[in-house]
Structure 1
Amino acid sequence: MMTKPLLSYVVTAAVLAGCAGSHRTAPATTATTAPTTAGPILPGVGLDVADLDTTVSPCEDFFHYSGGNWLRNNPIPAYASSWGPRNLLGDRTQALLKKILEDAAANTRVSRGSNLQKVGDYYASGMDSVGLDRAGLKYLQPELRRIDAIISRDALRRELAHQQTLGTGAYFRAGVSPDRKNSSVYAVNLGQGGLSMPDRDYYLKDDARSTTVRTAYVEYLTTVFELLGNASATAQQKAANVLALETRLARASKSRVELRDPYANYNKIPLAEFDRAYPALGLGAMLKQNGLGAAQEVIVGQPAFFQELNTVLQTTPLAEQKNYLTWQLVSSVTSALPQAYSDAAFRFQQVQSGTKQQPTRWKRMLAATDGTLGEAFGQLYVDKAFSPEAKQKALDMLANIKASMAEHIRSNTWMSSATKTEALKKLNALRVKIGYPDKWKDYSALNITRESYLQNVLAARQWNYARNVEKYGQPIDRTEWGMTPPTINAYYSPAMNEIVFPAGYLQPPFFDPKADDAVNYGAIGGVMGHEMTHAFDDQGRQYDSEGNLRDWWTKADGEEFTKRAAVVGQQYSAFSPLDSVYVNGKLTMGENLADFAGLTIVYDALQKQLQQKYGRQPRPRYDGFTPEQRFFLSWAQLRRTNIRPEALRQQILTDPHSPGQYRTIGPLMNMPQFYDAFGCQPGQKMVRTAEDRAKIW
């Protein structure tokens, strides 16, 4: 998982940085890797020192020291559930994207079938809220009638196949993706699904929070069924049917922690055997109906779930299943229906996230257009926001970080030579994608008009499904991207063994070619190290250099890694952001390991960069801070976050990322390099004893 325009400030040597022994002392001398002679003090770019709270010691609470003033001065807007630098960069990016979309929508002379026409018409149809209200359910009626016409189990199975093409989320997930044990071929993968609340625990637990969300969910269900024309009592009964059915699916679903085990969630079986084990799904006929008739095997993620689903399909009355399918369809397209539907959806979202106000429609339609046609107008965004020079600088940084990772592997004291050889092989095979695809998506088969936004949404889903199905039996497409160019995020793909950084992320304050190396390495460098070391976290390490799920570790090395990773899990499980609410160290394990390992790798990459640039010459102290201090401040300032209690509780339950506060301090508390940079002493809160520190790479 997972913003702010660059703010530059010219400051003097009087800038204060709290250190050990005092809350108001000058910046500490740098770590032992730096020259002993202080360098010149220069105005800096990329860090806003006014955001610091120097009444707090960096060695006691670096999260508030590095951004306490910013946290006080940046309350969460009514339309958001949390607020941080990523949101501010998002606002700036949205302003540019809005201009691109509005220009496309206003261009009535554009040639029919062009990407520009499709982008403009999709956005324009979504912005026509008056037209949506006027149309009512007109364009949804054909789909509603299909569900209403179900009179047999066979007809039900045919409709399930159709709903798969519409991406409604009914019952389970299915799609074509690389075979995790043979990454050179595509496979049909099936996984648990069918739930509308954010997590299965909301269906199963009776604590106050779960009960509140569940009550709001029933209200949402009832409202939608009333909007569809049902009397109040009938709507309540249909809502109860849906909740009961989804609760059965929830009981059979694995937890988020259980889903993190790639071996336990990989079960390849012949299609004929699947049909014998789960006959009510009629999967063979379903795949044939949807263009996958050539498939002879399927990979089942959670067999116990499909066993229960088979029973649900066999025993639940057709009328109740039709209610469920109607709900899944309608709730998946509320933004394309009259305002009352999206208002009902937002009221439920409010209970989950604490958001006070629904985002303006243009922001919602911008996000929808990006999700559907992101590479079509992403090309225009890249031309305006991402220079070849910026791309090259990012590639240079990644090369330095990759070299640092290789050195850490070679110098590792607990890993055998056999495992090191495989680890280096995987690192050398790692693919890097920066900015935008070399090969853009072809949207020529997708028909978009201004007649109906709902028709456009459903057409785009069917086009996307067909595009996915066409991959089966074809060579693996390694040019494909899982994010659009304007996305402010990055990812690592185990099956592809690649790290991907869209142009949207490579913008200030995450990345600024004008900033000093320490700031860039602490900001986007920290992200680069994070994504790179995902290849070696508790999940990523189970895939080899070709992206295959294969154990390439010696038994002793695997056990040692698990033991060291468990220390990180224990540390994060002790963090409590709210009363009686603790971070789930097992759920967040992969992201925590990537934060910690990545920052360690990147710190050494920065030292090599500084050594190459300055040698033993005094290094400049921008804004009065040493490079090491600016590195850690840059890391921290990009993770400062204000978040509503409701959203924080949901994040703890559902998100594999720890809250920003603990992403900031968790890695630093294990790093002697941080202690040196700020002169921290044993006994201070940011300092762990040598016995308590986690160390992997």
Structure 2
Amino acid sequence: MSKHAPLLLALAATLALGLASPDADAQRRARAPAKPQGPTACGDFDAYANRAWFAAHPVPATGAVSALGLLQARVLEQQRELLSTAMDAPQNDIQRLLGDFWASGLDEAAVEADGASPITPLLDRINGIKRARDIPPAVAALHQVGIPVLFNFSADLDLADLDRHIGYFAQGGTGLPDPAYYTREDADARALLGLYNGYVRSILALTGTAEADLAAESQMVIDLETRIARASRPVASLRDPRQNYALVPTEGLGKTYKRLQLTEFLAAQGVKDNSVSIANPELFATLDALVGSLKPAQWKTYLRFHVGDAMAPWLSSGFRDAAFAFRGRVLRGESEHPAREQLVLQAINHAAGQMVAREYVARYLPAATRSRAEAVADEVRGALLRAVEGAPWMDDATRAEAVAKLGTLGIEIGAPAREIDYSVQPMGRGSFGGNMLIASTWHHREEMRRIGRGNAQRRWPVRPQDPALAYDAAHNRLLVSAAVLQPPVLDMALDGAAHYGAFGALVAHELGHAVDARGRHVDARGEIRDWWTPGTAAAWSDRLGALAAQYGSYDYPGLAGRKLDASLTGGENAADVAAVEIAWDAFGQAMPEVGEDGRKAFFNAWAGIWAEQVSPATAELRAGIAPQAPGKWRINGPLSNLPAFGETWGCKAGNAMVRKDGERAAIWR
């Protein structure tokens, strides 16, 4: 049959209707099969609200596509546009720096011609090592340009005073991600170590080792790293920040670790604080001993490899191919090199991210959008305060602390308010690797400037040019990046009701963490302690139990016979339910006269941010590890518990989107 036959038949039927008698027409309708009904709001709101989106975005063969993923892709395109504009027509010194950086990275022919030239000065410094006392200054110099060797040193929060940063001396200096890989005797670990040895050989060859010496020198690197690994702690033990925290005075470091010259190391980094954290003094005692016991030749080989390893992605193809063969294919499971633009954008964000942030905010965050976001977020905070004051599961002592915490909660929109010194050596367009070192040196300098100063809250753990909306428990504040303030999160072209259903609900989701089980461990004064009473904790567990029963009954989309693991997603399920409860209250207070269309717009906006299509393989992977429910249940699960949803859409008892009164789960209702 012709592919046009159904259309011709339909046209013929339409013409026939005009000629048929009423009786014949009735008989025809009686005989006609019922048309298949599409999704309804009361049956499956995800399928109903996102039907057009699903039609435009079919299930991919691999991976996933989502509304928030498309936002991320748009943000990356905005960053590329920003850098291209800065390259062609810079309007200020920072744009000129970024434009030169971008141009140098995109010029693949120049990168190839540059070869190992960008790291030659670093290699010359290393090759100049003659005695043990020359090793620590070389280590300090590499840290200064953003290449941490032997150990890690970084700025992070002082757990005893969350308003300041301190310097953390921590384990590092090994090329494999887990110290156990060096000492395990199983076949998998031995095979991985063998592949790593091959990678070390490749980088050493590129940095000057003669072919005849490669086997011996690569083993020197493995030997030194194995010694470091044996003195290191298991990775699992480092996940608790308290295991990485142990303040010691800086005054005595030079005597305790004389060969490492840690006093001089801190001076080279520009750090003048009176204390640092060294949580594993045994490791640093071992490193101190190694400086004096191993021959300078072994140290030179080790340092030379780590310079080549750190810089390999930004150098010529020999370096890039070697790094990708091991770190890309073996460690990360990647099948192909990232595109050139992607690689360069990643490099610039890594080394000069604060410069990109400054220009991104100026270009892509209009004042009206910022103002609207501030207003909605403030109204949501007010709604959460009302909810806390009336929460039946909080006793008076817990409620008082929660109210106090919300009273000091901050909301920061767009970018952090932080003083940054943008002075940096001019880059030019001749050497991408050289520019990477210039930018990394600047980035390291700015990181070190945070140590010992009472301005920890001025730093964000997220970048303004990345889509992010997060509650920062350490400083009791909501962080809303400039990049997230666009569709589908905040669409200024839509009616205000949608702003509450999408952006407002996401704000409510995150602010709820200030006073829920996640926020219970930091009080209103910023002290780390559990301020919930046992009674409140028990009542919270009861509510989570009701949610677990609900979500545990849901089929996992795309996986036949698989149910959602509600124990894995429990905390985020609770935050999603709280999100629509709080955002709906804020919406009602802000727009009390809104009609039915506005109320529907609220719910459509909530559905729009979680739209997604996931391949079976990705669904299988997520089902076992993802702490959030699939998009379908992030939409339908919370709304089915909210009476206002059924009332807005005219749903009836027995509809899938209306839970029975005794089965409705609630967080703040």
**Contact conserved, 1:47 with 1:519, CA < 8 A, in 2?**
no
Counterpart pick for 1:332 among 297, 310, 325: 310
The verdict on how the C-alpha distance between 1:525 and 1:148 changes in structure 2, with shifts beyond 3 A counting, is farther
Residues in 2 aligned to 1:332 and 1:569: alpha-carbon distance in whole angstroms: 45
The verdict on how the C-alpha distance between 1:607 and 1:82 changes in structure 2, with shifts beyond 3 A counting, is closer
Counterpart pick for 1:261 among 240, 243, 264: 240
Counterpart pick for 2:200 among 201, 221, 235: 221
Residues in 2 aligned to 1:291 and 1:598: alpha-carbon distance in whole angstroms: 42
**Contact conserved, 1:261 with 1:539, CA < 8 A, in 2?**
no
Counterpart pick for 1:101 among 83, 87, 97: 83
Counterpart pick for 2:336 among 357, 381, 404: 357
Corresponding residue for residue 580 of structure 2: 603
Deviations 1:548-591 (A, max 9, x none): 4355445766788799889999999x999999x999999x89xx
**Contact conserved, 2:476 with 2:526, CA < 8 A, in 1?**
yes
Corresponding residue for residue 161 of structure 1: 140
Equivalent runs, 1:647-658 vs 2, <5 Å: 658=626
Counterpart pick for 2:608 among 634, 638, 642: 634
**Contact conserved, 1:492 with 1:500, CA < 8 A, in 2?**
yes
Residues in 2 aligned to 1:323 and 1:188: alpha-carbon distance in whole angstroms: 28
> For residue 457 of structure 1, what is the amino acid of its counterpart?
M
Residues in 2 aligned to 1:451 and 1:343: alpha-carbon distance in whole angstroms: 22
Asked if 1:425 is matched to 2:393, the reply is no
Counterpart pick for 1:382 among 361, 366, 383: 361
Corresponding residue for residue 274 of structure 2: 296
Q: CA deviation at 1:374?
A: 3.8
Asked if 1:50 is matched to 2:49, the reply is no
Counterpart pick for 2:483 among 474, 489, 504: 504
SS in 2 for 1:454: helix
Corresponding residue for residue 27 of structure 1: 41
Residues in 2 aligned to 1:213 and 1:564: alpha-carbon distance in whole angstroms: 46
> For residue 579 of structure 2, what is the amino acid of its counterpart?
V
Q: More displaced, 560-569 or 224-233?
A: 560-569
**Contact conserved, 1:495 with 1:546, CA < 8 A, in 2?**
no
Asked if 1:140 is matched to 2:142, the reply is no
Residues in 2 aligned to 1:602 and 1:329: alpha-carbon distance in whole angstroms: 47
The verdict on how the C-alpha distance between 1:101 and 1:364 changes in structure 2, with shifts beyond 3 A counting, is same
Deviations 1:490-527 (A, max 9, x none): 44434433222221111212321234567545544454
Residues in 2 aligned to 1:446 and 1:276: alpha-carbon distance in whole angstroms: 36
Equivalent runs, 1:558-573 vs 2, <5 Å: none
**Contact conserved, 1:668 with 1:674, CA < 8 A, in 2?**
no
The verdict on how the C-alpha distance between 1:232 and 1:663 changes in structure 2, with shifts beyond 3 A counting, is farther
**Contact conserved, 1:106 with 1:120, CA < 8 A, in 2?**
yes
The verdict on how the C-alpha distance between 1:449 and 1:617 changes in structure 2, with shifts beyond 3 A counting, is closer
The verdict on how the C-alpha distance between 1:441 and 1:285 changes in structure 2, with shifts beyond 3 A counting, is closer
Counterpart pick for 1:513 among 492, 496, 509: 492
Residues in 2 aligned to 1:507 and 1:204: alpha-carbon distance in whole angstroms: 49
Residues in 2 aligned to 1:560 and 1:308: alpha-carbon distance in whole angstroms: 50
**TM-score when scaled to structure 2?**
0.76
Corresponding residue for residue 9 of structure 2: none
> For residue 52 of structure 2, what is the amino acid of its counterpart?
A
- Cα RMSD, aligned residues only: 4.9
Residues in 2 aligned to 1:279 and 1:127: alpha-carbon distance in whole angstroms: 45
**Contact conserved, 1:408 with 1:601, CA < 8 A, in 2?**
no
The verdict on how the C-alpha distance between 1:486 and 1:676 changes in structure 2, with shifts beyond 3 A counting, is same
**Contact conserved, 1:29 with 1:677, CA < 8 A, in 2?**
no
The verdict on how the C-alpha distance between 1:119 and 1:439 changes in structure 2, with shifts beyond 3 A counting, is same
Q: CA deviation at 1:279?
A: 5.3
Q: CA deviation at 1:105?
A: 2.0
The verdict on how the C-alpha distance between 1:285 and 1:614 changes in structure 2, with shifts beyond 3 A counting, is closer
The verdict on how the C-alpha distance between 1:674 and 1:612 changes in structure 2, with shifts beyond 3 A counting, is closer
Residues in 1 aligned to 2:634 and 2:416: alpha-carbon distance in whole angstroms: 34
Corresponding residue for residue 70 of structure 1: 57
The verdict on how the C-alpha distance between 1:643 and 1:146 changes in structure 2, with shifts beyond 3 A counting, is farther
Counterpart pick for 2:74 among 92, 107, 132: 92
Q: CA deviation at 1:188?
A: 2.2
Larger Rg: 2
Corresponding residue for residue 343 of structure 1: 321
The verdict on how the C-alpha distance between 1:452 and 1:52 changes in structure 2, with shifts beyond 3 A counting, is closer
Residues in 2 aligned to 1:248 and 1:687: alpha-carbon distance in whole angstroms: 60
Deviations 1:118-150 (A, max 9, x none): 122222222222222222222311211222333
Q: More displaced, 669-678 or 319-328?
A: 669-678
Deviations 1:31-79 (A, max 9, x none): 9xxxxxxxxxxxx9x96423449xxxxxxxxxxxxxxx8351x455xxx
The verdict on how the C-alpha distance between 1:83 and 1:607 changes in structure 2, with shifts beyond 3 A counting, is closer
Q: CA deviation at 1:417?
A: 2.6
Q: CA deviation at 1:314?
A: 5.9
Q: CA deviation at 1:603?
A: 0.6
> For residue 608 of structure 1, what is the amino acid of its counterpart?
D
How many residue pairs were aligned? 624
SS in 2 for 1:334: helix
Deviations 1:642-679 (A, max 9, x none): 5977x997x999xxx82666576479768861799688
**Contact conserved, 1:561 with 1:696, CA < 8 A, in 2?**
no
Corresponding residue for residue 673 of structure 1: 641
> For residue 49 of structure 1, what is the amino acid of its counterpart?
R
Corresponding residue for residue 8 of structure 1: none
Q: CA deviation at 1:530?
A: 4.1
Equivalent runs, 1:214-613 vs 2, <5 Å: 216-231=195-210, 234-243=213-222, 245-246=224-225, 249=228, 258-272=237-251, 281-292=260-271, 294-302=272-280, 306=284, 309=287, 318-347=296-325, 348-438=327-417, 441-476=420-455, 478-515=457-494, 520-521=499-500, 523-536=502-515, 540-554=519-533, 593=571, 595-612=572-589
**TM-score when scaled to structure 1?**
0.73
**Structure 1: segments with no counterpart, 5+ residues:** 1-21, 32-43, 54-68
Q: More displaced, 260-269 or 536-545?
A: 536-545
**Contact conserved, 2:555 with 2:563, CA < 8 A, in 1?**
yes
Residues in 2 aligned to 1:195 and 1:244: alpha-carbon distance in whole angstroms: 11
Which has the larger share of helix?
A: 2
Q: CA deviation at 1:85?
A: 3.7
**Structure 2: segments with no counterpart, 5+ residues:** 1-35
